[in-house]
Amino acid sequence: MELLVYGIINSITLSLVSLGFTLVYSISRVPNFAHGALYVASGYLTWLFLNEFMGFPYLLAILLGVIITSLVGAAIYQFILVRIRGMEISEIIATYAIGLAILEGLRWGGLRGGTFVLPAFFPGSVSILGVSVDYQRLIIVGAGILTFIILYLFTRLTKVGLAFRGIAQDERAAMMLGINSDMTAVLSLAIGSALAGLAAVLLLPLGNIVVEGGYNVLVFAVAVCVIGGLGSWGGVIVASFIIGFAQIMTEYFISAHYQMVVALLAIIITLLVKPSGIFGKQKELEERV
Amino acid sequence: MRKLVCIIIALFAMGFFLPGAVTAADPIVIGAPLATAFLYGWDAERGIKLAADEINAAGGVKVGNTKRPFKVEVIDTRDLEPGVPVSEALLGLEKLILEKKADFIIGGPVRSEAALAAMDLLNRYKKVSILTTGVLTPAYHKKVAENYNKYKYCFRNTSHVGVMMPEFLTLLEDMRKAYGFKTAAIMVQDVAHARAGGEAMEKALKGKGWTVLAPKIYPTGTTDYSVGLTDAGKNGAQILFLWMDMPESTILLKQWADMKLKCIPIGFVNAAEQPGFMKASGGKGEYLIVNLVNGGNAPAKITPWTMKFVDAYKKKWGLEPEGYGTSSSYMAVYQLKDAIEKAGSTDSDKVVTALENGDIMGVYGRMRFDKKTHQIIPSLDPKEGAVTGIIQWQKGKRVQIFPPKVADAKIVLPPWMK
Amino acid sequence: MRKERIDRGLKVRTEGIYAITSAREILYLMGPRILLIVGLLALPLIFELAPYWKKVINIMCAYALLALSFDFLANYVGLVCLGGAFFTGVGGYFAAIFNVELGMPVWISMPLATVTGAVLCTLFLLPCLPLRGVYFAIVTLMYPLLFTRIIEALNILGGTNGMTGLDALPNAYAENYLIIVVALAFLFAMRRFVNEDVGLVLRAVKDNDQSVRASGISVTRMRIIGVFVAALLGCFAGAYIAHLYMWAGISLFALDFSIIPIAAVVIGGGGTLVGALIGAFILVPLSEVLRAFGTFRIVIYCIILTGFIVFKSEGIMIFLQRKYHQFERWVKV
């Protein structure tokens, strides 16, 4: 029973973490390696608003943290990435360098040690099917599902959302129809960063804000996206469930210290067997020489 | 472009010439290779600086007929940062020796891998080093014992796993007698020293007739411990033995408190050493028992010097000693001073002999090095040797509860365990 | 008005027969090369009074080798390797095994570790060689992490404590000149290699793999050669570092070994091979000078790196080459 409950929670956590990364990649084809850094930065900002700057109410602090993160994301595209758009390697190196600069800058600026913590939204726990689960995890599951639904509706019903999908499917055709490619890319980075921020404020109350968290988040986001197929949304959800349950099962049946090995092996096996990932159909022909 | 080149050249020149200009011949230079961005790094730095300042204020070190002050040169070895190779830390150590002209090395390198690798370097440059923080592996002093002539310059004045384990066992046995506990669950981080600690504990407890659940090993960075915790709860564990040095262990404690598990967490938990831990855990860390490796890393009454040290530290740095590595780094400077004065010189080989024969009462008991292994001699009695510092978080404060001779309070069980 | 670039007369002349008839032309051709060779060889002597900086030269050259390997893979084979650390780790551990476990002397263990390490790396990377796109990059990024985990989890090869007690190199000069000579030798060998038959085919694989295939040449086999050569460089760097510090441990798989070489290539100028060296010679001492700033130095060099990518993506070497071979003037349009 714990397997099921915590498997689901773990999977939704993973997909929350990687959703922002995949959204940015699917729309603007930018592998945003600063994702992990934005995640940590948003958590730290929220903490600052909550504790250092005149103690805003929690909700306001969260809102501010997420909004500023999304502005930072947009700024990264607007001022830096726009100049190297399309050069994949430069994009990877530039975003990674920015991420590293943010993370190590935070560490230098005082984010060190284990004393940075966001409070849980509601303390306490409840028993579900005989398994004790704290409220924060329930909120994560709820918020995760809600985010999927909102994103789904957003990309299907609103004009901006449809523009997103247009760009993702065929950039040239979309541009011919008058969709501004750069503008959508800026928006996608803003939304992707906001998602990273959202994941941070939801997940960080479970633990504490540390710089190393940024690297872990990045590794997991990349892992999930590669297995699911880079840029595929359905793939992200399926892949997070695969990795999520695989991890919980390894912990349960073998030993927790093989968790990371399982995730990494999963990536390598996926690349060998089906390099485009589980759901990456359309690009498959291009992958093999 | 040209500007950038100019700036780079200027920076280069600065790094190259400045230190040379500042170096004076008179003071005795203590090199401190530490990972200054981390706990075990910055607290050790503060400890060393405090001791050096105190000694200098009292006139300095008497070498022969002259009084010479200490000068502390700290260098960031970065060895606790993920993704940084140990060669970086070793390069830092060489910088201390070659460029800052350090006479002695106190402190790190902090990571075991780096400290073990540094021993060969210390031998090459013939520099006496007192390791004070970060390294808990018995491999360090075993290496000295195996090849004394090569590694005789390496000393360590903090405790190690081989000593901490029996002490934990004594503590747990005391608790069994007092409360009738008999089942223990073990959770450790996936690094060698923690795994070794967990295994040793499992064996030792089984030997004493405890029921021990299969140890759970968590990779560094795990953020969910629910499976292991519910498992422990279901099997009726009363002791939760932890060995972790990652910040995420706070999550484990939060989950433990939220689930109100009927067990008490005990162990080596890096995240729970600092005074700020209570706030960080949102009060969930209450009742946790932590090993601070050496006494004096939290307020206690081990020797008269302990509180004097705690107060001096508070006065200089604005907070209580922060954790493992603080008191030992502080004492290492005094041990060195004692040895230099006895040797009457700063010659490495003479100081080695003097350190081997050194015997002073310090912050955490009597400080003597074993002559063969260069490891500090431990004891449960401060009059006999160096004393450990096992504390419990009680009402948001760190209170010394073990060893019994120097304990300030008794262990308190969480209310939901009754 | 517009700026126009024109080749210097000297350059045009030296491309013809005149190259060997006049001292000036010979100097023009050989000057930069000799400057690099002599300068590098003289470096340990220049720093005679600052023994610490001689140590930095060692590390600098080791990173230069890694950068060379990255540049070669990325710009001549078309594979982006984000895991230089994989090569250093494998090379370093092999050196430790040969030297400590099997008792081989340094001059055997180091070359042997280089070759066996390169073979092993190539074997491990074999599965992703038939693939195009970012997969090689992702797999190489993952391998160092995976190997670290495996060594930790299984507690083999010394576990997290690493293996110590490797034989040191005889003295400081041997340390310096071994790596300097090897770096120079590899540099000039690579420059020739990419213009040999094999090198030309490799470059063709990068530009148009379908046409290579159509000519009846196996793309995978060509890439195996490319990866093997790059791994040789990386594994040598690893084996050298292991012997330099008499230790091999999991931090030989550290991220720095992957990141700094990439940054060096970006700054030095990709595709020039020399640029990789120059980049490492700038970055490593810079990061050493900034050590006092703690983790802030990473911020500084990340900003420099981003700046180069965005504003000066050609890198220093190509910029210098242009200045050397061409001059600029304003002309009326």
The secondary structure of B88-116 as a DSSP string is HHHHHHHHHHHTS--SEEEE---SHHHHH
Taking the C-alpha atoms of residue A135 and residue A138, their distance in angstroms, rounded to an integer, is 5
**Cβ distance A184 to A196 under 8 Å?**
no
Residue type, C232: L
If one counts every other C-beta atom within 10 angstroms of the C-beta of residue C27, the result is 13
The percent of residues in chain A predicted with pLDDT above 90, rounded, is 0
Confidence of residue B77 (pLDDT cuts 50, 70, 90): confident
- The residue written with tokens 């968290």 in the block is A213
Which of A83, A88, A260 is closest, CB to CB, to C149?
A260
Would you state the pLDDT for residue B16? 47
Chain B adjacent subunits, 3+ CB pairs under 8 A: A, C
The percent of residues in chain A predicted with pLDDT above 70, rounded, is 87
* Count of structural domains within chain A: 1
If residue B76 lies in a helix (H) or strand (E), which one and from where to where? strand B70-76
Taking the C-alpha atoms of residue B210 and residue B235, their distance in angstroms, rounded to an integer, is 13
- Which among C53, C249, C246 has a CA at the least distance from the CA of B84? C249
Structure tokens at A289: 């020489």
Which chain A residues are within 8 Å of C130, Cβ to Cβ?
288-289
Of the candidate ranges B133-147, C151-165, C194-208, the one whose mean pLDDT is the lowest = C151-165
Structure letter (DSSP) for residue B147: T
SS3 B386: strand
Structure tokens at A248: 């919980």
Confidence of residue C228 (pLDDT cuts 50, 70, 90): very high
Confidence of residue B10 (pLDDT cuts 50, 70, 90): low
Q: Which residues pair with B156 in a beta bridge?
A: B131, B375
- The residue written with tokens 């090199």 in the block is B31
- Label the pairing between strands B104-107 and B28-34: parallel
Average pLDDT over residues A143-156: 86
Which chain C residues are within 8 Å of B90, Cβ to Cβ?
245, 247
Would you state the pLDDT for residue A269? 78
Structure letter (DSSP) for residue B214: P
Residue type, A234: G
Average pLDDT over residues C80-96: 88
Q: What is the mean pLDDT of chain B?
A: 79
Structure tokens at B358: 């050194």
Would you state the pLDDT for residue C235? 92
Would you state the pLDDT for residue C87? 92
Taking the C-alpha atoms of residue C301 and residue C291, their distance in angstroms, rounded to an integer, is 12
**Cβ distance C88 to C66 under 8 Å?**
yes
Q: Is C35 an interface residue toward A (CB < 8 Å)?
A: no
Please spell the DSSP secondary structure of B274-285, one letter per residue. STTHHHHTTTTT
Centroid of chain to Cα B215: 25
CB contact under 8 A, A251 and B279: no
pLDDT of A281 over the 60 cut? no
Would you state the pLDDT for residue B20? 41
Taking the C-alpha atoms of residue C202 and residue C206, their distance in angstroms, rounded to an integer, is 7
Give C20's contacts (C-beta < 8 A, 6+ positions apart): C26
| Strand extents, DSSP E, B190-337 | 211-212, 216-218, 239-244, 264-269, 289-291
**Could you give the angle at which helices B112-125 and B139-146 cross, rounded to 10 degrees?**
30
CB contact under 8 A, A271 and C127: yes
What are φ and ψ of residue B200, in 5° steps?
Answer: -60, -40
Most B CBs within 10 A among A257, A262, A264, A265, hence the mutation to make, goes to A257
How would CATH label the architecture of C2-331?
Orthogonal Bundle (1.10)
Q: How far is A180 from chain B (nearest CA, A)?
A: 34
CB within 8 Å of chain A, chain C residues 58-117: 74, 80, 82
Would you state the pLDDT for residue A255? 65
Q: Give A192-238 pLDDT, tens digit per residue.
A: 899 888 888 888 877 777 777 787 788 788 878 877 776 677 778 88
Would you state the pLDDT for residue A124? 67
pLDDT of C20 over the 70 cut? no
Q: How far is A94 from chain C (nearest CA, A)?
A: 5
Q: How far is A32 from chain C (nearest CA, A)?
A: 14
Which of residues B136 and B25 earns the better pLDDT score?
A: B136
Q: What is the mean pLDDT of chain C?
A: 83
Q: How far from B90 is each of A212, B115, B117, B172, C18, CA to CA, in Å?
A: 23, 9, 8, 39, 52
Which structural domains are found in chain B, ordered by start?
10-159+302-367 (3.40.50.2300), 162-292+388-417 (3.40.50.2300)
Q: How far is C287 from chain B (nearest CA, A)?
A: 10
**Cβ distance B102 to B59 under 8 Å?**
no
If one counts every other C-beta atom within 10 angstroms of the C-beta of residue C332, the result is 5
If one counts every other C-beta atom within 10 angstroms of the C-beta of residue B309, the result is 26
Would you state the pLDDT for residue B18? 45
Would you state the pLDDT for residue C230? 92
Q: What is the mean pLDDT of chain A?
A: 79
Average pLDDT over residues C88-99: 90
Would you state the pLDDT for residue A284? 47
Give B25's contacts (C-beta < 8 A, 6+ positions apart): none
**Cβ distance C40 to C46 under 8 Å?**
no
User: What is the CATH number for A79?
Assistant: 1.10.3470
pLDDT of B1 over the 50 cut? no
CB contact under 8 A, B258 and A206: no
pLDDT of C46 over the 70 cut? yes
The percent of residues in chain B predicted with pLDDT above 90, rounded, is 0
What are φ and ψ of residue B394, in 5° steps?
Answer: -125, 125
Write down the H helix ranges in chain A.
2-28, 35-51, 58-75, 88-108, 135-157, 159-169, 171-176, 181-203, 211-228, 233-249, 259-273, 284-287
Q: Give B165-214 pLDDT, tens digit per residue.
A: 888 888 888 888 888 888 888 888 877 677 778 888 888 888 888 888 87
**Cβ distance C98 to C113 under 8 Å?**
yes
Give the domain ranges of chain C: 2-331
CB contact under 8 A, C155 and B193: no
Would you state the pLDDT for residue A286? 46
- Which among A8, A13, A131, A137 has a CA at the least distance from the CA of B227? A131
Taking the C-alpha atoms of residue B393 and residue A32, their distance in angstroms, rounded to an integer, is 42
Would you state the pLDDT for residue B384? 81
Q: What is the largest CA-CA distance in chain B?
A: 76
Q: What is the pTM of this model?
A: 0.79
**Cβ distance A227 to A278 under 8 Å?**
yes
SS3 A24: helix
Give B316's contacts (C-beta < 8 A, 6+ positions apart): B46, B50, B53
Residue type, A43: G
Which of residues A55 and B168 earns the better pLDDT score?
A: B168
Q: Is C91 an interface residue toward B (CB < 8 Å)?
A: no
Would you state the pLDDT for residue A125? 67
Taking the C-alpha atoms of residue B164 and residue B267, their distance in angstroms, rounded to an integer, is 10
Average pLDDT over residues B30-52: 82
CA atoms within 13 A on the CB side of B8: 17
Average pLDDT over residues C285-296: 77
Confidence of residue B7 (pLDDT cuts 50, 70, 90): low
Q: How far is B277 from chain A (nearest CA, A)?
A: 6
Centroid of chain to Cα C279: 10
Taking the C-alpha atoms of residue A280 and residue A274, their distance in angstroms, rounded to an integer, is 9
Q: How far from A151 is each of A144, A195, A229, A235, B300, CA to CA, in Å?
A: 11, 10, 19, 15, 56
Confidence of residue B21 (pLDDT cuts 50, 70, 90): very low
Which of residues B1 and C120 earns the better pLDDT score?
A: C120
CB contact under 8 A, B86 and C52: no
What are φ and ψ of residue B269, in 5° steps?
Answer: -125, 105
Would you state the pLDDT for residue A81? 82
Most confident range, picked from A46-55, A126-135, A226-235, B117-126: B117-126
If residue B75 lies in a helix (H) or strand (E), which one and from where to where? strand B70-76
Structural domain range at position A146: 2-111+119-287
- Which among B280, B277, B282 has a CA at the least distance from the CA of B298? B277
Which chain B residues are within 8 Å of A206, Cβ to Cβ?
223-224, 251, 254
- Label the pairing between strands B216-218 and B183-189: parallel
Confidence of residue C52 (pLDDT cuts 50, 70, 90): confident
pLDDT of C119 over the 90 cut? yes
Confidence of residue C157 (pLDDT cuts 50, 70, 90): confident
